[in-house]
Amino acid sequence: MNGILVVDKPKGYTSRDIVNLVSKKFNTKKVGHTGTLDPIATGVLVIPIGNALKVSELLTSEKKEYIARVILGYETDMLDITGTIIKKNKPKVTKQEIIEVLKQFIGIQKQQVPMYSAVKINGKKLYEYARSNIKVTPPTKTIEVYSLTLIDEPIKVDNTIEFSIKCEVSKGTYIRSLIRDIGYKLGTYGTMKELKRIKQGIFTINDAYSLEDIQKDHYKLITIKKSLPNIKVTVLDNNTLKKVKNGQVLDTFFEEEMSLLVNKEGKEIAIYKQIPGNKVKPYKMIEV
C-alpha cells in the first residue's frame, strides 16, 4: 500500500492519533504525517503511506491556509480556549479597525513561539518549561503572512468580540501567536477558539476524507507522481532502469534540476537530481 491519504482531522485527536488509526487500518507501520495539527484544530492532515514516506519532505509545503475563529477580550496561557485565562479586558474595536489591523500583518515578520509548543531550548521543549512553571523567553522566528482577511461580521458575546479570519501563511507559522499579536495591535487580547486547515500545498479540504470514510473504505490514495506536480517525470528505458535501481550515478539524461523517474508502466522508482560534472545522482530511492 503506497500513496498519500489526505485526512480531515476531527477535533480532539492528535496528529499521532490519526497516524495510529491509519496504521491499524492498513496494517502497516509505514505511516507518517507532514504537518502537525493540535487537538483543537481540524482539517487537512497529509498522511504518506508506504513508499510515499520516502518523499515526505517534498510534500511539506511552504504555504498553508487556515480558517480561524478569534475571540477578543482575553488571552490564555495556551493562546487558545483550552488554556487558563491570564489577561483580559473589555475590547472596544470596530469592524473597520479589525480590517485595517489585519492588513498590517501581511508580509514577512518576526513571531514569538507560544510557550505551549514543542520548540526546544537547551534540549527541553517549551511546554515542559511551562508545565514546570520555569520561566524562559520563547524564541522568535521569521514567518510570512501571504493573505489575511476578515470573513464574517464581528459579534459581541458577553464581554468579548468574536469573528473569523482566513489566512495563508508560511510553514511554521503559529496561528495562535498570530491571533495573540492581532489582539495586541487592537489594544486588547486575542485567543483562538477554533482552527481549520483548509489547504497544505496542493492538498485541499476537498481532497480530504473523514475517519468514517476511511473506515468504510470510501477513500482514494493520491500517487507519489500526482502529489509532486512540480517535478517532471522521466520514463526510463530498461537499461537505465537497472542502473537506477542500483543507485548509480549517471550521465545527465534530463534537463531539470530534479526528476521523478518511472518505469514504462508508470511505477515510481526514484528521484534523481543534477550534480556537478554533468551527472545525476539519487536524491530519493522509492522502489528498489
Active-site residue set: 38
Secondary structure, 3-state, 129-159: HHHCCCCCCCCEEEEEEEEEEECCCCEEECC
For residue 188, the one-letter residue type is: T
Q: Could you tell me which residues are beta bridge partners of residue 138?
A: none
Sequence-ordered list of residues with C-beta below 8 angstroms from that of 239, at least 6 positions apart, any chain: none
Sequence-ordered list of residues with C-beta below 8 angstroms from that of 143, at least 6 positions apart, any chain: 108, 109, 110, 111, 169, 170, 172, 173
For residue 40, the one-letter residue type is: I
Sequence-ordered list of residues with C-beta below 8 angstroms from that of 38, at least 6 positions apart, any chain: 14, 80, 195
Q: Alpha carbon 270 to chain centroid distance?
A: 25
Q: Alpha carbon 153 to chain centroid distance?
A: 27
Question: What is the Cα–Cα distance from 253 to 221, expressed in whole angstroms?
Answer: 30
